[in-house]
Structure 1
Amino acid sequence: MRAWFQPLVVAMSVATAFGSNTVMAADYLVDNPQDFRQQQKQLQPGDTMILADGDWKDFEARFEAKGTADAPITLTAQTPGKVLIKGVSNLRIGGEHLIIKGLVFTEGHSPTSEVVSFRIDKDTVSNHVRVTELVIDNFSNPDRFESDYWVGIYGKHNRLDHSHLAGKRNQGVTVAVRLNSEQSQQNYHRIDHNYFGPRPELGSNGGETLRIGTSHYSLTSSFTTVENNVFDRCNGEVEIISVKSGDNKLLNNTFIESRGTLTLRHGNNNTVSGNVFLGNGVANTGGVRVINKGQEVANNVFVGVTGYRFGSALTVMNGVPDSPINRYHQVENANIHHNTFYNVSNLQFAAGSDDERSAVPVSSKFTHNLVVADDATTEFAAFDDVSGITFADNLATFKPVKPFAQGFTQVEVDAPNKGWPAAQSVNRQQVGASADTKAMHKDEVGPSWYAKPAAQTEFDSGASHTVTPGQNALFDAVERAADGDVLVLSAGHFNEEKIIPVNKTLTIRAAEGEEVVIAPARGTLFEIDNGGSLAIDGLTLTGENAPDSAGNTLIRTLKWGMLKNYRLVVKNTTVKALDINHSFDFFAAGARSFATSIDIQNSTFENITGHVLRLNQEQDDLGIYNVEQLTITGSEFTDIQGALALVYRGGTDESTFGPQVHITENTLTNVGHGKRNKAQASLYFHGVQQAMVKQNNFVSAAALRVEETVGEPTTELSKNSFKQTGQPEVINFLATAGGK
C-alpha cells in the first residue's frame, strides 16, 4: 500500500524576533521506506513525519532536516510501541531542532557501527536534537565480539530521554558520547530519565553501558549532564559508566544490582552527586572509582554494595607518573564529602598500586562522610601512602584502622528497616548524604508504554511434566517444554538417539527415589544453544552407548559464536563410562560462549578419558573467557585422565571481575595423569581473578596449577590434603600494564 500523501495542515503560531508569525505545519503519514525518503525532502519547520504502525524490516533510515527552536521537525510513531523496526536496520540523524519519538528497535541488529546515530556522516551532525521514548531491546549483533554502539551522540545540545535500552549482548558501549571532532566537543548534551535495563556479563572489555568521551580526547570538556536515569543490572563489565572527558555532571541516578562502578576514568573536574547505588548484597556491585584531577563525589548513597578492588563502593586509584593519556593520571584535588555508605564491603584508597601505578593521591579530601556497618563488615584498605588525602569530620559505627582512624568519630546510628540511615549532625555540620538523595523507581524512567524486563528465567519456575522412558522420549519432552519448566523422569533407561538442543531454561530431574539412567547413542547428549540454561538433578549419565569416536562430549554449548549467556547446574548426579575412546569430555564450552555460572554439587564422576570441564577455548589473549562463576563442591572425581577443570583468561586487560572459581570439599582420585592432558594438572587456572581451593582431598592426582597473569588476583589454597600428589604451583606472571 502506498502512503497517504495529502498532509494534514495545521496553523501554528510562532514567536520570532520580529513578533508573532503564523506558519503552516503539516503531518505526513508514511508506510514504507521509499515514501519515507521521498517525503522527507518536503519537510519544513513545524512538520511531523509519522511512521505507520507495523513492522519496518531492514530499514536503514536517514533523517536529515532543519527545524527551528520554535518549530522543530518531528519524526514519530503513529502509535507508541507499534512501530517495530526489525532486521538489519538503523537510524542516522542529521540537522537541527529535530524530535524523534516512540521508535522501537527489536529482533535484529545494525548493519553499521551504531543503531541510532546523531550524525549522518562526519560532516553532518546533529545539534539541538531530542530523541525521546526510544526503545532498543535485544537488538544485538549476532557475533558477540562484533562491536557497535546502540546510540552514538555527536554534535551539541542534544538530548536522549525517557528511553529504554536493555539486553545488549555484543561488544560495544550501549550509549557513547563522542568528542572526536570540534563540532562535538563542549557539547552540553543531556541524558535523562532513561531506563538502562539488564546488560549481561560480556566476559571481556567493551561492555560499558554509558561512555562519555575516549582517552584520546579526555582532556577536552564535554559538559554532558547525566541525570535521573536508572541503571538496572548493568553487568557488562567493571565500568557501568566510563567518564573519559571533563566537566560532566552525573546527578541523581539510581543503580540497581549493577556489577561495576561509575568510573571517572579520564578527564578532570567531573561531579558525581545525588546518586544511589543499591547493591542488595549482590556480588561485585560497586559504586564510584576516582582517577584524575578535580573530581567531586558528594551526597551519594551506597547500600549493600559488595564489590572489591576496582569495583568497591569507593575506589581512589593510584596513578602513573607522567602518565600517557590512555593510562592512569594521578588523583589530585579530589573532594569526596557528605556521602553515606551503608553495609558496604570495601572502601579502597591508592588502589592498583604497583611498579607502574606508583603516583599516590595528593591534595584530596574525604570529609563529612557517614559509614554505617549494621549487618555487613566494611573494610578500609590503603594500598600505598594515603597521606595526600585528608580524612576529617567523618562518622562511623566502628573505629577504622590506621591510617584512617584519625579522620573518624565512632557513633551509634539506628539502622532503619528500609532504606538507609539519615544524615547525622555534628557541631551543626551535616555528615552523610542529605534527605533529598532518594532512589528512583523503574517506573519513573523510560517510556511509560513499554514494559520493563523481568529478571532472567529461574530454574523450576515453570510447569512440571512427567516423562517416561521411550524412544527419544527426552528429546521430544525437551522440544515441547516451555521456558522454566521441569521434566521429571520416571525410573528406567532413556536411550537417546538424537542430540538434544536446549534453547530455554530447563530442569531435568529424576523422580524422587527413582533410578534414571540416560545413555546417549550420539557423541553429545545435550547442546546448550542461545537462550538455553540447563539444570540436571539425580540422574545417571553414561557413555556406554556412545559412538566409538575420539573427542565425544556429553554436554556442550554451540561449538562457536553464542550470543546469549547460559547457566549449567549439575547436582546429585552420577557420570560414568565416558571412556569408549580417548578425549571424551563431560562438558566443553565452545569458542565465544559465556556461562554466567557453572555449578556442580554432590555428584560423582568416574572413568572419563577427557576433561570434566573444558573452559579454555579463548586462547587469543584478548581478555575474553568462558565462565564468570565456577563452583564445584561436595563431589567425587575418580579415574579422570584429563583435568577436573581447565579455565583460561588471557590478556592484560583489567575490565572484568571473572573468572571466579570456588572448589570446595571434593575428592580427586587419580585425576589429570592422561598423556593428552597438556596442562598436566588436575586443576588448571590461567588468569583467574579469584581462585579458592579449600578442604579438598587430592589422592594420586596431578598437581594443581594456578597462573596469575593480570589485575590483583586472589588465590586461596587452604585445608587441602595431598596424598601421592605434587604440591600446588602458583606462578605469578602479573603484567604491569592493563587496559582499564
Structure 2
Amino acid sequence: MKKHVILSIFLFYFLSVLNAQDILVSNISEFNAALKNAPNGGTIILKNGVWKDVNLVAKGNGTKDNPIVIKAETAGNVILSGDSSLSISGTYVIVSGLWFKDGNTTQKSVVQFRTSSKDFAYNCRLANSTISYYDTKDPDLKNHWVDIWGKNNRVDHNNFTGKSSPGTTLVVWLKGDENIDNKHQIDHNYFGFRPDLGENGGETIRIGTSDNSMKSSKTVVEYNTFKNCDGEIEIISNKSANNIFRYNLFLESKGALTLRHGNNALVEHNVFLGSNIPNTGGIRVINEGHIIRNNLLIGLKGSGFRGPIVIMNGVPNSPLNRYNQVKDVDIQNNTIINCGPMTFGAGKDDERTLTPIRTVFANNIITNTDAGTILEIDDTIEGISFSGNIVDSEASVNSELFQKAEIDWVMVGSLPIPSENNAILTSVSKLKNSPSVDITNLERTTYASGAFNLGNTRIPRAISMITGPGWKPDIKKPVVKPTEQLIKPAIGAIRKAISSAPSGSIIKLEPGVYEIEKKIKIGKTITIQGAKEGQTILKMKDNTESTFDYFFRADPGAKIYLNDIEFLGDNGYDMKYAIVSPDENESGLYSIYVNNCSFKNFTNTNGGSIFKAYKGTKADTLSFINSKFKDSYRGLNLSYEKDLGMYSANVIFVKNSVFDNIEQFAINYTRNIPNVNLEGGELVVDHCVFNKVANTEKGRIIKNNGIHKVSILNSAFLYSYKAETPIVLSGIENTIKNCLIFDSGGIKVNKGAQEYDIINKNPKWEDKDAFIPSEKSPLLKANNGIETIGLKLE
C-alpha cells in the first residue's frame, strides 16, 4: 500500500512539472518569447483562432525524451492564413495540429525544415496538420508546401490538398553533406486533389534533384494515400538513391510513381486503383538496381509513359538530367488487372537508344476482360528475362514472354484475388529476389505468381490503413468570383493571366503581339478578348529554345471563348496546331467558342491542323463564327476516333467563315458507324466560303462520314478544280441547300440525303480577296431568287 501511495505522489509531481512547462501563446510575439524560454524542451501551445501573416520560426534543441513541442490548443483550430509560414530547425522539434488555409503566400516554402541555409532540422517532425488550397500571390512563383532538409525528420498524419500553383507539393533536398543519407520518413499522409499544372513541376513528392540524383537519400515513403493527384505525369519523382516506397495507395491519380533518377529503389506492397479513368498510371522505371514487387494495379487506363509498368530506354553517356539506362532491375510478383498496356523500351528515339539490360520480369499476373493489349514493345527487349508470367485474357501474347491460363478468382471485399484452385500459379520458380511474403505480409509458404498468396483473405495494408490527421479537416475549395483584367503585350502575359483568373473570368488583350513561350492548358470557363480597335496577334516566342505543338488545350470541363484574335502558326517554327482537345482518352465534355478570329500559316504537314481533337475525347460544342482559316495544311480535324459509334463532338457550328487556300480538308468530322441514320453528331455549315480547299482529285472539302445530321447552307465552294466530289452526303438527315459550287467538281448525295437550289456559276467578285460579290453576282438574292450565299458582310 505504501508503494502505491509513493508512486501516486510521484506521478502527480511529474504531471505537474509537465503542465508547468506548457506555455499558452496567443500571438507571434508571445510565441517567440516562449521559444526563448524553452530552448531545450517543453510545450508551446498556440491559442485557437486565426493567425494571419505570421512566420513561425521553430528553432531549438530538444531531446528524444524531452522534445520541444509546438502544437495547436485544439488540433485544427489554429488557422494560419494570409502570408504565413513555418520554419523548423535544431533537434527534436515537433509541430502538430496546424491548418494552413486561405493563404496568399509570397514564400518559396510554406513549411521548411530549416531556418537558414546553414541551420537544418534533425529528428524533427510535422504531424497532425493540414495545408489546403494555400495559394500564391504570384502565379509564376514555383513554391513548395513542404521542404525537408537535414536528417531523420518525419512528416506524418497530415493532409495536403488543393495545390494549384507551380512547384512540387513536398520536396526532399540533398544539397550539401548535411542532407545526404537523410533517412527521412513520410508516412500516413493524405495527398488530395492536385489539378493538372499543364507543365513540368507539378509532382506531389520529389526526392532529390537531377544534380544530386546519384546521392543516397534513404527516405521511406509509406502508408500514404494519393487521391486525384493529377499535377503532372510524375506523382512521385524519385531523384536520388536507396529510397523505399511501400504500402501506399494511389487512387484515381493521373500519373505514375516514377523512378526518374537515382538507383536502388524498393517499390513494394503498393496499391494503384485507377477506376478506369484515362491517364491513370502505375510505375515508370529508369536507372538501375530497383526492386519492384508485390504491387497491385487495377483499372489504370494510361498508356505510353502512363502504363501500369513502363521500362524506359536510356541515353548513351547520359547527363544527370536525361535518362540513364535501365540495368539490374527486378520486377516480380505484381498483379495487374484491367489496365492499359505495359510499355517496354518506352521513349525510343534518336537520343534514347539504350535498351534495358540485366532486367528481370518474372512471376507477375496480368489479366483483363476486354482482350486489350498486354504489352507494347517500342525497342528490343533482349536484355529483359521473362519467366513465370501468367496472362488471363483473350488478348494475343508472345508465348516466349507469357503463359496464357484461366485463373480462378474470388472476391475479398471488392478485390479479386486468386483462389487456391490455381495450380498453374504455383508451377513457377522462385528467383534471386523473389519476395518471401505476399502483399499482405503473409509468409509465402507456397510460392505462386502474383502479389497474393493463393486463397488469401486479407486486405493489403495500403487499403486498410487510415491516413491524414487525427481530426477531420472540412476542406472546401475556395469560391472565387470571376474577374475582368486588361493585359498588355508581353511574353507569358496570357498564360499568367489565365493561370490566376477564376473560372468565368474575362481577359482583355490590348492591341499588339503576344509571344507565347509555353503551351497553355485551360480547364475552366474563360474568355480571351482581343482588341477590337486594333490587331491582337498570338505567335510562338521569337528565338525560343523549346518549341511546342499548340497555343491552347481545352481540358475536360473547359469552356473557352476566343474573340478578335489572330493566330500565327509559322514564325519559323512550323507549329502543328492552334487549339487542341484534351489529351487522348481524357473523358469529360469541353466546349470552344471562336468569334472573329483568324488562323494563318499552320503549314505543318506532319499531322498538323488548325484544330485537332484527340482520340477518346468529346466536345459538347465547337463553334467557329465570323472567322478566317488561311494558308494552312488542314482546318478542323476530328477524325482520330475510330472506335465503333464514337465521335469527337456533339455539335459543330461553322458560320460566316472563310477557309482559303487549305491544302487538305477544311473540316474532317467523322464517325465509324454501319448506319449513318443512327443518331449521333451534328454539323452545321452556314454562310461560309471555301476557296482553294482540298484541290486534289480525291480531295474532300468537308469530310463527314457517319455523322448523323449535316446541314450545309448558303455557302460557296470555289476553285478546287481538281476535286471530283468535294462533298459527299449520306443519310436522311444530311442536307445541302442554297449553295454555289464553281470549278470544284460535283456534290454526291445518297441514302436519303437531299440537295436543294444548287448554283453552278461564276461568283463574280467585286473584291475577290475579301469575298465581296459584285452587284451582278449569282451569290446575291437579287440574282438568284433564293437567299444570300456566302459571307454576310456588315
> Shared fold by TM > 0.5?
yes
Per-residue deviation at 1:226?
0.5
Per-residue deviation at 1:391?
1.2
CA distance in 1, matches of 2:592, 2:50: 54
Q: Which of 582, 598, 613 matches 1:642?
A: 598
Letter in 2 for 1:725: V
Contact residue 299 and residue 338 of structure 2 kept, 8 A: yes
CA distance in 1, matches of 2:85, 2:552: 26
> Where do 1:92-171 residues align within 5 Å?
92-171=87-166
Could you give the per-residue CA deviations for residues 36-64 of structure 1, whole angstroms, max 9, x where no partner exists? 11221110544101111111111011111
Q: Which residue of 2 aligns with 1:703?
A: 662
Q: Are residue 226 (structure 1) and residue 221 (structure 2) matched?
A: yes
Q: Which residue of 1 aligns with 2:378?
A: 383
Q: Are residue 208 (structure 1) and residue 203 (structure 2) matched?
A: yes
Q: State which drifts further: 158-167 or 144-153.
A: 144-153
Q: How many pairs are equivalent? A: 586
Q: Are residue 446 (structure 1) and residue 414 (structure 2) matched?
A: no
Evaluate the alpha carbon distance shift between residue 312 and residue 703 of structure 1 in structure 2; reply closer, same or farther with a 3 A threshold. Answer: farther
CA distance in 2, matches of 1:143, 1:614: 29
Evaluate the alpha carbon distance shift between residue 64 and residue 381 of structure 1 in structure 2; reply closer, same or farther with a 3 A threshold. Answer: same
Structure number with the bigger relative contact order (C-alpha 8 A, sep ≥ 6) is 1
Q: Are residue 185 (structure 1) and residue 203 (structure 2) matched?
A: no
Could you give the per-residue CA deviations for residues 497-517 of structure 1, whole angstroms, max 9, x where no partner exists? xxx8599xxxxxxxxxxxxxx
Per-residue deviation at 1:280?
0.4
> Where do 1:179-578 residues align within 5 Å?
179-375=174-370, 377-398=372-393, 403=398, 405-414=400-409, 416=411, 419-423=414-418, 425-427=425-427, 428-434=446-452, 435=456, 438=460, 440=462, 444-451=466-473, 453=475, 530-532=501-503, 566-568=523-525
Per-residue deviation at 1:697?
11
CA distance in 2, matches of 1:426, 1:416: 20
Letter in 1 for 2:426: V
Evaluate the alpha carbon distance shift between residue 35 and residue 581 of structure 1 in structure 2; reply closer, same or farther with a 3 A threshold. Answer: closer
Partner SS for 2:360: strand
Query: When the two structures are superposed, what TM-score results if normalisation uses the length of structure 2?
Result: 0.63
Contact residue 644 and residue 671 of structure 1 kept, 8 A: no
Letter in 2 for 1:642: S
Per-residue deviation at 1:718?
9.1
CA distance in 2, matches of 1:183, 1:634: 49
Partner SS for 2:366: strand
CA distance in 2, matches of 1:673, 1:92: 55
Per-residue deviation at 1:236?
0.4
Per-residue deviation at 1:108?
1.4
Contact residue 57 and residue 115 of structure 2 kept, 8 A: yes
CA distance in 1, matches of 2:117, 2:39: 24
> Where do 1:577-588 residues align within 5 Å?
none
Evaluate the alpha carbon distance shift between residue 308 and residue 418 of structure 1 in structure 2; reply closer, same or farther with a 3 A threshold. Answer: farther
Q: Which residue of 1 aligns with 2:555?
A: 596
Contact residue 258 and residue 285 of structure 2 kept, 8 A: yes
Q: Are residue 91 (structure 1) and residue 113 (structure 2) matched?
A: no
Contact residue 285 and residue 311 of structure 1 kept, 8 A: yes
Partner SS for 1:280: strand
Evaluate the alpha carbon distance shift between residue 44 and residue 377 of structure 1 in structure 2; reply closer, same or farther with a 3 A threshold. Answer: same
Q: Which of 668, 693, 708 matches 1:725?
A: 693
CA distance in 2, matches of 1:443, 1:107: 29
CA distance in 1, matches of 2:101, 2:14: 35
- Which runs of 5 or more residues in structure 1 are unaligned? 1-8, 14-21, 458-481, 485-499, 504-526, 535-546, 553-558, 571-577, 586-590, 649-657, 686-691, 707-714, 730-740
Evaluate the alpha carbon distance shift between residue 592 and residue 229 of structure 1 in structure 2; reply closer, same or farther with a 3 A threshold. Answer: farther
Contact residue 209 and residue 240 of structure 2 kept, 8 A: yes
Evaluate the alpha carbon distance shift between residue 267 and residue 664 of structure 1 in structure 2; reply closer, same or farther with a 3 A threshold. Answer: same
Contact residue 57 and residue 87 of structure 1 kept, 8 A: yes
CA distance in 2, matches of 1:44, 1:550: 57
Q: State which drifts further: 108-117 or 180-189.
A: 108-117
Could you give the per-residue CA deviations for residues 77-134 of structure 1, whole angstroms, max 9, x where no partner exists? 1111111111111111111011111111111143331111101112111111111012
The two structures, once aligned, show a CA RMSD in angstroms of: 5.2
CA distance in 1, matches of 2:669, 2:176: 48
Contact residue 333 and residue 362 of structure 2 kept, 8 A: yes
Per-residue deviation at 1:283?
1.2
Q: Which of 57, 82, 86 matches 2:52?
A: 57
Letter in 2 for 1:449: W
Could you give the per-residue CA deviations for residues 322-341 of structure 1, whole angstroms, max 9, x where no partner exists? 21111111101111111110
* Structure with greater Cα Rg: 2
Per-residue deviation at 1:633?
9.6
CA distance in 2, matches of 1:192, 1:159: 8
CA distance in 2, matches of 1:281, 1:305: 6
Evaluate the alpha carbon distance shift between residue 32 and residue 437 of structure 1 in structure 2; reply closer, same or farther with a 3 A threshold. Answer: same
CA distance in 2, matches of 1:178, 1:42: 31
Q: Which residue of 2 aligns with 1:524?
A: none
Query: When the two structures are superposed, what TM-score results if normalisation uses the length of structure 1?
Result: 0.68
Letter in 1 for 2:33: Q
Per-residue deviation at 1:638?
11
CA distance in 2, matches of 1:550, 1:217: 44
Partner SS for 1:282: strand
CA distance in 2, matches of 1:241, 1:716: 39
Evaluate the alpha carbon distance shift between residue 23 and residue 103 of structure 1 in structure 2; reply closer, same or farther with a 3 A threshold. Answer: closer
Q: Which residue of 1 aligns with 2:708?
A: none
Could you give the per-residue CA deviations for residues 447-496 of structure 1, whole angstroms, max 9, x where no partner exists? 13233657x89xxxxxxxxxxxxxxxxxxxxxxxx999xxxxxxxxxxxx
Contact residue 159 and residue 191 of structure 1 kept, 8 A: yes
Q: Are residue 682 (structure 1) and residue 635 (structure 2) matched?
A: yes
Evaluate the alpha carbon distance shift between residue 528 and residue 324 of structure 1 in structure 2; reply closer, same or farther with a 3 A threshold. Answer: closer
Letter in 1 for 2:448: Q
Per-residue deviation at 1:726?
3.6
Could you give the per-residue CA deviations for residues 372-431 of structure 1, whole angstroms, max 9, x where no partner exists? 102472431010010111111011113665656433233244474963331453225311
CA distance in 1, matches of 2:54, 2:309: 44
Per-residue deviation at 1:144?
2.7
Contact residue 269 and residue 462 of structure 2 kept, 8 A: no
CA distance in 2, matches of 1:672, 1:70: 73
Evaluate the alpha carbon distance shift between residue 501 and residue 294 of structure 1 in structure 2; reply closer, same or farther with a 3 A threshold. Answer: same
Evaluate the alpha carbon distance shift between residue 121 and residue 660 of structure 1 in structure 2; reply closer, same or farther with a 3 A threshold. Answer: farther
CA distance in 1, matches of 2:298, 2:289: 25
Contact residue 683 and residue 703 of structure 1 kept, 8 A: no
Contact residue 109 and residue 139 of structure 1 kept, 8 A: yes
CA distance in 1, matches of 2:67, 2:590: 66
Letter in 2 for 1:431: S
Contact residue 188 and residue 225 of structure 2 kept, 8 A: yes
Contact residue 276 and residue 437 of structure 1 kept, 8 A: no
Evaluate the alpha carbon distance shift between residue 429 and residue 726 of structure 1 in structure 2; reply closer, same or farther with a 3 A threshold. Answer: same
Letter in 1 for 2:289: G
Greater strand percent: which structure?
A: 1
Evaluate the alpha carbon distance shift between residue 635 and residue 406 of structure 1 in structure 2; reply closer, same or farther with a 3 A threshold. Answer: closer
- Which runs of 5 or more residues in structure 2 are unaligned? 1-10, 428-445, 486-497, 538-549, 605-612, 639-646, 673-682, 700-794
CA distance in 2, matches of 1:288, 1:162: 24
> Where do 1:18-97 residues align within 5 Å?
26-97=21-92
Evaluate the alpha carbon distance shift between residue 647 and residue 72 of structure 1 in structure 2; reply closer, same or farther with a 3 A threshold. Answer: farther
